[in-house]
Copies of this chain bind each other. A is one copy, B any other.
Amino acid sequence: MRNPHSNGNLPGKTTEENGFGDGVILGLDGGATSTVCVCVPFYPFGDRLPEPLPILGRAVAGCTNCNSVGETTARDSLEQVISEALVGSGSDKSDVRGVCLGVSGVNHPSDQEKIENWIRDMFPSHVKVYVQNDAIVALASGTMGKLHGCVLIAGTGCIAYGFDEAGKEARASGGGPILGDWGSGYGISAQALTAVIRAHDGRGPPTMLTSTILKALGLSSPDELIGWTYADPSWARIAALVPQVVACAEAGDEISDKILVDAAEDLALSVKAVVQRLGLCGKDGKASFPVVMVGGVLNANRKWDIGKEVSNRISQYFPGAQTIIPKVEPAVGAALLAMNFLTSYQENHQVT
Residues of A within 8 A of B (CB): 107-108, 170-180, 190-191, 193-194, 197-198, 201-203, 225-227, 229-230, 233, 238, 269-270, 272-274, 276-277
Contacts and interface: CB of A to CB of B under 8 A. Distances in A.
Contacts of A229: 175-176, 178-179
Nearest to A195: B180
Contacts of A227: 107-108
Nearest to A235: B178
A60 to B, nearest CB: 28
B273 A175 contact: no
Main secondary structure of the interface of A (DSSP, over half): helix
A226 B276 contact: no
Given A178-B229, A178-B233, A229-B179, A173 B201 contact: yes
A277 B202 contact: yes
Contacts of A108: 227
Contact of A225 (B170, B175, B193, B277): B175
Nearest to A191: B180
A32 to B, nearest CB: 15
Nearest to A226: B175
Given A179-B194, A180-B190, A202 B107 contact: no
B171 A197 contact: no
A156 to B, nearest CB: 14
Contacts of A201: 170-173, 270, 273-274, 277
Contacts of A226: 107, 174-176, 179
Contact of A178 (B172, B179, B190, B272): B190
Contacts of A203: 172-173, 269-270, 272-273
B276 A178 contact: no
A194 B178 CA distance: 7
A149 B226 CA distance: 24
A122 to B, nearest CB: 29
A107 B203 CA distance: 22
A111 to B, nearest CB: 12
Given A107-B227, A190-B180, A227-B107, A175 B197 contact: yes
A197 B201 CA distance: 32
Contact of A179 (B171, B225, B269): B225
B202 A172 contact: yes
Given A107-B227, A175-B229, A227-B107, A180 B194 contact: yes
A226 B176 CA distance: 8
B197 A179 contact: yes
B269 A178 contact: no
A238 B178 CA distance: 9
